[in-house]
Structure 1
Amino acid sequence: MQVIPAIDLLNGQVVRLKKGDYEEVTVYSDNPASFVKKFREAGFTHIHVVDLNGAREGRFMNLPVIENIIEKTGVSVQFGGGIRSRGDIQTLMDVGVSRIVSSSMAVQRPDEWIASLDIYGGDTCILGLDIKDGKMAYGGWERISDEDAMDFLGSMVRVGVKTILCTDISRDGMLTGVNSGLYNEIAQRYPMVNTIASGGVASTEDLRQLAIEGLYGVVIGRAYYEGKISLEEMLSFHEDA
């Protein structure tokens, strides 16, 4: 299982939101590159970055910060937030991003998303399966699709999606434990999909449970920031893909 440290960027700072609420912001650092350097020094070479400004506004607001992180730390970056077109993906590739995660593009511009899968491949284009009350959330989690999230995932698998980043929004930033039932449902219905879990991780027991269940990966943010899990503990569950 890949353990992927995560940072969320808002106005150039490392922050976390509670349940995706932009009014519930905790700031952890105003120097993202220095913050990420701790991950690199611990042994992690791949991180997850979300541009919260981009997710809500549909345009990259923290791109210089991303460039600085890559330049200063040498980590590979899996990026989400504000990706709306093939041009956006190419912009990210040009600054060194290795993988992209998108939900809005897949929901709002499916033809563009499918074309991107054909061009960049399912190993580069990761579907952000952000779930709220069983539906797909997108646009910084401020908009909800009418379609059932599991049905939507099925349609995406058929067009080439290989990997998903699945977030249970009700647990994001809450340290309430992972939604094993959700990940088990995905594994049963779509066993060919690589699932990266996101939201709710609160302890090493959560990591142990996800590893036992055979999750492809897990993103960890607040649990580390709040001292619930150490980098050493995270690394003990980590295996490169």
Structure 2
Amino acid sequence: MIIPALDIINGKIVRLYQGSYHMQTNYGNPTSLLKKYINQGAKMLHLVDLDGAKNPEKRQNLLINQLIKKTTPLSRIQIGGGIRNAKDIETLLKSGATRIVLGSIAVTQPKIVKKWFEYFDPNTLVLAVDLRIYSAENRKIAIYGWQKETNLQLEQIIEEYYAVGLKHVLCTDISKDGTLLGSNISLYQSICNSWPKISFQSSGGVHKLTEISKLRSSGIKGIIIGRAFLEKKFTVNEAISCWQNE
């Protein structure tokens, strides 16, 4: 599945370069882009509340709820950014979101988040792992918008949540995100081979249509694409055709 990504700061669509809030490009109104992507065939959209990710007290709840209502049932919504408790998840699911993305909190408060996997349907939760990759054996998790690197390895966190029913993982190679420098195909081949029962989503670096067939062949179930769509490298429709023709 091709999943267009929309990152939102102060009600506007932006792209951050390498996660830096100081290096952002503004792309305008989220509503018009959502409609455009849906009209081009997107069946799922990935929304990130960057204000909420930076400060949970500044989550853009009103805007997010409006966007979800305008999107469903034409397309499903996967959303992350500043999720800090079960009530946040419950509210978003009730408003119509399909999946909730859990990032830093899954690392910093695993006891709490594991309970969420028992309370909610695991199919509604996505574990987001942002990686600093030093070698095939050394892939460390970064948190808080990549500002802090942990000693936790990719294998450790996946196994920890796999034990409580983990179904979906969004995996980002930090060195690729927002760069249009190409995807880390070998990373996705590796993790899909290691955990064949998990649905992995790739994120970061896609800039050519030829990458889409390679990524699908790696075994992933979804490709999150942001900047390439915003900068018109290719359309959502073209990307979906490449996925379907693989």
Q: Letter of the aligned partner of 1:89 in structure 2?
A: I
1:71 equivalent in alignment to 2:69: yes
Aligned length: 237
Measured in 2, the distance between the counterparts of 1:72 and 1:158 equals 36
Answer whether contact 1:85 1:105 (CA < 8 A) is retained. Answer: no
Matches within 5 A, 1:17-166: 17-29=16-28, 31-59=29-57, 61-74=59-72, 75-133=75-133, 134-166=139-171
Give the C-alpha shift of residue 189 in structure 1. Answer: 2.0
Specify every segment of 5 or more residues in structure 1 that has no aligned partner in the other structure, as ranges.
none
- TM superposition score normalised by structure 1: 0.93
Measured in 2, the distance between the counterparts of 1:188 and 1:76 equals 27
Answer whether contact 1:52 1:140 (CA < 8 A) is retained. Answer: no
- TM superposition score normalised by structure 2: 0.91
Which segment drifts farther, 212-221 or 137-146? Answer: 137-146
1:209 equivalent in alignment to 2:214: yes
Aligned to 1:131, the other structure's residue is in SS state strand
- Number of the residue aligned with 1:224: 229
Measured in 2, the distance between the counterparts of 1:72 and 1:177 equals 32
Answer whether contact 1:100 1:125 (CA < 8 A) is retained. Answer: yes
Measured in 1, the distance between the counterparts of 2:51 and 2:172 equals 18
> Alpha carbons of 1:25 and 1:145: their partners in 2 closer, same or farther (altered >3 Å)?
same
Runs of 4+ in 1 over 4 A off after TM superposition: none
Alpha carbon RMSD of aligned pairs, Å? 1.5
Deviation by residue 1:55-83 (Cα, 9 ceiling, x = unmatched): 11134522222122122233321001101
Give the C-alpha shift of residue 129 in structure 1. Answer: 1.1
Measured in 1, the distance between the counterparts of 2:155 and 2:237 equals 35
Measured in 2, the distance between the counterparts of 1:63 and 1:173 equals 25
> Alpha carbons of 1:60 and 1:76: their partners in 2 closer, same or farther (altered >3 Å)?
farther
Which segment drifts farther, 105-114 or 139-148? Answer: 139-148
- Number of the residue aligned with 1:3: 2
Which segment drifts farther, 33-42 or 52-61? Answer: 52-61
Specify every segment of 5 or more residues in structure 2 that has no aligned partner in the other structure, as ranges.
134-138
Answer whether contact 2:213 2:243 (CA < 8 A) is retained. Answer: no
Identity %: 37
